[in-house]
Amino acid sequence: MPDEQISFKEMCTRFDVTPRTLRYYEYIELLSPLKDGRARFYGPREVARMTLILRGRRFGFSLEEIRQWLLLYNQKSTNEQFQVFIDLANRQLGELERQRDELDKTIDDLTSLRDRTASSITG
């Protein structure tokens, strides 16, 4: 295998994912490693895709959204792929802001309850 190829185990280590996760990403066609018998090898394309997959997951995108977005890369112009990403990002940013607002409210409620409880003990 060429030097730029990394093994299944190296891919798991590099991205801190379990073998099960990596096999699942292959199963749903997010990744397509080269296969030599039972061995799998990942080149620069797969490493870049894995970086995008994990970034997308961290941002809260579903695996299906990530898969569809990656498919556009091979089928459509880069501008269309960028527009799809912008639309997904705008939707997800709205959801994250809603979650942040809810979390802020929950923190305020819990802080208030804690303070009232603490004052009833000392008061």
Per-residue pLDDT of the chain (123 residues; tens, 9 = 90+): 446 899 999 999 999 999 999 999 999 999 999 999 999 999 999 999 999 999 999 999 999 999 888 887 766 667 887 888 899 899 999 999 999 999 999 999 999 999 999 999 986
pTM (predicted TM-score): 0.77
Task: Identify the pLDDT of residue 1.
Answer: 44
pLDDT of residue 80: 80
Q: Which of 56, 64, 11, 57 is nearest to 20 (CA)?
A: 11
